[in-house]
Amino acid sequence: MTLKHSHNDQATADTCHFLGTESFVTTIAEDIEKSESPRTIAITGYWGSGKTSCLAGVYKKVTATSPAEITNNKQEQTGKYTGIWFEAWRYQNEVSPIIALLHCIKNHFSSSKKFIDGAGKLASVSVLGALTVLDGVIKQATGLSGFSKISEIGEKYEKDNLMSRLAADQINDALTKAVNVLLGDNKEKLVIFIDDLDRCEPESAYKLLEGLKLYLSIPNCTVVLAIDQQQIERFLQKQFINLMSERKSEIDSQYSYLGVEYLEKLCQEAYRLPIPNQKQKSDFFISHLKLLFEDENGSTVIADLNEILKSYDVLPANPRRLKMISNKLAGYLRKVDGSNVKGVINENCSLFKEFNNIIEPKRSESFAAIALIISSLSVSYRRIYESIELRADAARDIFDFVTSEKGTNYSTPSSAFYELNKDHRTTDVQAKYEHPSDLSIFKLKPLFDEVTGLHVYTQSTPKTISEIMHQFVNYFNHNQVN
């Protein structure tokens, strides 16, 4: 079968690629529209849960354009609001990250087509003056002369719009008026989207948050942060403890709450990214898998997988991992595409001879399920995957693992199941909250269940399933049948 190239890990602003968060994105966009500024909104969620794509989706909702930093295609924003996209971790080594953000704001407006005349120059004195005020704020933030030496090109703007003397406590007033000029008559707010703050070092994250409070708490500006809330709270707590230590102040239990309280004070609203349900994960996975096929030869496998995923909740909630599994599965199907399975009827074909024990249509369904299992193991449970490559009976250990008492030989460090520390025999995984990147939960458990598992569904045996999985991996990795 013919397949396209694999998916990359780039976030997207297109709602068709969201993992059940279309309504969530719309709600945040409506909050921005209906609420008064200044306002700071947080989109919170675990690493890998899709915060960047949601942030980009909100950006597209309010600006009618996807972020150029994601699409590599800069377009003029046509929505009601002007959006600034800022990837915080790229600037974490700056002495003051807020300066980098202010530069991004200035660069956005200074390069805007609506301000450029036919000769390629800024056409408006007011705009030039407003940009000069931004320059002054940047100088102030860097500890230079600030507003005391605003260049001549901004003097008229200063005289018309600002008090003759600008002091430090008038920075917000100056920025408010400058941003109003830059927004123009057809834009209502400046919306700043900050991504990857939780990837920064604690000190850098704290400096940027402090800068937001000092410089951008202005009436025509809304800030939207995409963060792992728990991670940021830990960063802030660590930063506050360090500050107390430097001041030789007493550190007691109250400081464990400072990070939480600081973030609550900064963010007027926090939206928790919803955990996708079984259907949303399946739809996301199947849609990405379909995009990798250039012909119809994969339709049978995809149809089989679609049915399997209706019955078995075995996919992670992490969109990055779902893309990786779809890439891996497509890669397997380039080489082991199901025609091999049909060929087992021929006695001369030794590949997957164990499939002779499975009757159609369950044979093709088994192939699809095993392709999914192998792909998932390769991405998320590599030690188990490697054991299956080495031993034809290794997958039988999986059947035993999901039904064994906790504390058996699978809890030793040498076991391929050692990292899977949840009790899969007595714990109802579906009833517990789901961390999208929690690899200690064996998500494939339902496919190996002794009552409802794949071997029951396909009327095969654990021995048959195990041998097929072994053949599958070795044919792909070594182009041979053991």
- pLDDT at position 317 is 87
- pLDDT at position 388 is 93
- Among residues 430, 459, 152, which one has the least CA distance to residue 314? 430
Phi and psi torsions of 342, nearest 5° = -65, -30
- pLDDT at position 338 is 54
pTM of the entire predicted model: 0.77
Helix (H) or strand (E) holding 173: helix 171-183
- pLDDT at position 350 is 56
| Cα 121 from Cα 141, distance rounded (Å) | 27
The residues of the chain scoring below 70 in pLDDT are 1-18, 71-73, 113-124, 143-169, 186, 243-257, 294-298, 336-356, 405-409, 422-434, 436, 480-482
Q: Which residue has the tokens 């119809």?
A: 296
- pLDDT at position 434 is 61
- pLDDT at position 142 is 74
- Among residues 269, 315, 287, 285, which one has the least CA distance to residue 58? 269
What structural domains and CATH numbers belong to the chain?
Answer: 21-272 (3.40.50), 278-478 (no CATH)
